[in-house]
Structure 1
Amino acid sequence: MEDIFRWDDALPEDLVRAAYDRLAGTRYTALMHKLKKNRAQPVYVTDEAWRRYLQDWESEDFQARSRQATENRNTEVEGPGTGPSKHGGGSVSFATTQERLVSFF
């Protein structure tokens, strides 16, 4: 199994792990969003796990956090009267991404 994943030995393992964790977190978040939106149990999710997902999504605590997150996303970032801001970041150019990656490694 250890031969499956390889990277340049010049890269510090903690940086590789951090990059992996960020990507895995992003993918997991996207998966959970898709499952919650579709509400159809995929074949790769066990009955027990699916029951727990549904139970969590329907809980009052989850619903309250969801409502708060929705309100936060809809705040008028530029001040009252400027309209809701539905995006927190915006586009990042290729050049900026390249600079960030170079400085990261």
Structure 2
Amino acid sequence: MGLCATRQTLRHGNTWRLTPPTVKESYFQELKKEFTWSPEDEPEVRAMWEHKASKRYSDMMSDYKRKLRASIDAGREMDRPLWMSAEFWTGLQAYWDQEPIQAVSQRARANRMFEPDGPGTGISRHVGGS
């Protein structure tokens, strides 16, 4: 599957930003089934939920990618998450297997492991701001 075809398959959400508003809305409606708040608070609740959901979605995708890599390294196949369609899971695997995506991942991993004060001094975990 080429990169364009893979992006087409994933257009519905390999990142939170690419997840369609209709899907996000269905997730928010599920939240509303479990919790209640006053109608005038809904915009603020929605904004807080949107922020948290974005972070958790990113964490979840990273976790799936890490588990998939470990499964492949161990010579076994990973079952797709129950909530994902088979097409989406196959598309994610193909996307993560693309050379440009792998190169970005390798570069980011090397940057996270960089020892700014020289070898043996320990990696720096300060990755943002002053």
Confirm or deny a common fold (TM above 0.5).
yes
1:49-68 Cα shifts (integer Å, max 9, x gaps): 01100001100011011011
Aligned to 2:48: 19
1:32 aligns with 2:61: yes
Does structure 2 retain, via aligned residues, the 8 Å contact 1:76–1:83? yes
In structure 2, runs of 5+ residues without a counterpart are 1-28, 69-77
What is the deviation of 1:12?
A: 9.0
Structure number with greater CO (CA < 8 Å, separation at least 6) is 2
Aligned residues: 83
Q: State percent identity of aligned pairs.
A: 28
Does structure 2 retain, via aligned residues, the 8 Å contact 1:73–1:88? no
1:39-86 Cα shifts (integer Å, max 9, x gaps): 321222111101100001100011011011011111224x2242223x
* Matched AA of 1:80: G
SS of alignment partner, residue 75 of structure 1: coil
CA–CA separation in structure 2 for the residues paired with 1:7 and 1:72: 45
Structure with higher Rg: it is: 1
Alignment RMSD (CA, Å): 2.6
In structure 1, runs of 5+ residues without a counterpart are 90-105
- The TM-score with structure 1 as length reference comes to 0.62
CA–CA separation in structure 2 for the residues paired with 1:29 and 1:50: 15
Aligned to 2:11: none
Describe how 1:1-105 pairs up with structure 2 within 5 A.
4=32, 6=37, 9=40, 13=43, 16-39=45-68, 40=78, 41-77=80-116, 79-81=117-119, 82-85=121-124, 87-88=125-126
Q: Flag as ranges the 4+ runs of structure 1 deviating above 3 A.
A: 15-18
SS of alignment partner, residue 49 of structure 2: helix
Tell me: CA distance 1:76–1:43, structure 2 relative to 1, closer, same or farther (3 Å).
Answer: same
